[in-house]
Amino acid sequence: MQTICAFDRLIPGRGVAALLGDGTQVAVFRLLDDSLFAVSNRDPFMHANVISRGLVGDRGGEPVVVSPLLKQAFSLASGACLDDASAALEVYAVEVIDGEVRVGARAEVEAVA
């Protein structure tokens, strides 16, 4: 897990991008209820690293981010694309410790737990 920024730095209802040590880009979102989600930043359709700039909200209760390029919605929880079953985002682990946001690959978290 890697610390990326202070929790307070995140705007409720918006995302930021973080660059991990291995060069992967992760999009981290803080929702209005202060819950956090992390998914890959790369848009699987246009291959640009912009998912962090998408709008968040819900579809039938499922929290989603909408790609700013061609507007497909992705589940923040599972990464699945709700408009095209063939595409999905990678999901990352995210937590807050001492007011700092930490992000890591899913596998890392499971190993720790």
User: Three-state SS for 108?
Assistant: helix
Report the nearest approach of other proteins to the CB of residue 12 (Å).
Answer: 6
Q: What are phi and psi of 8, to 5 degrees?
A: -65, -20
**Rounded to 5, what percent of the chain is helix, strand, coil?**
10, 45, 40
By CB under 8 A, residue 31 contacts other proteins:
yes
Which residue, among 51, 79, 52, has the nearest Cα to 63 in the 3D structure?
Answer: 79
Stretch that binds other proteins, among 5-13, 81-89, 91-99, 105-113 (CB under 8 A): 5-13
Stretch that binds other proteins, among 12-20, 80-88, 90-98, 104-112 (CB under 8 A): 12-20
What would the x/- binding string for other proteins be over residues 59 to 78, using CB under 8 A? Answer: xxx-xx-x-xx-x-x-----
Nearest to residue 49, comparing CAs of 69, 77, 78? Answer: 69
- Applying CB under 8 A, the residues found at the interface with other proteins are 2-5, 9, 11-14, 16-19, 23, 25, 28, 31-32, 42, 46, 48-50, 53-61, 63-64, 66, 68-69, 71, 73
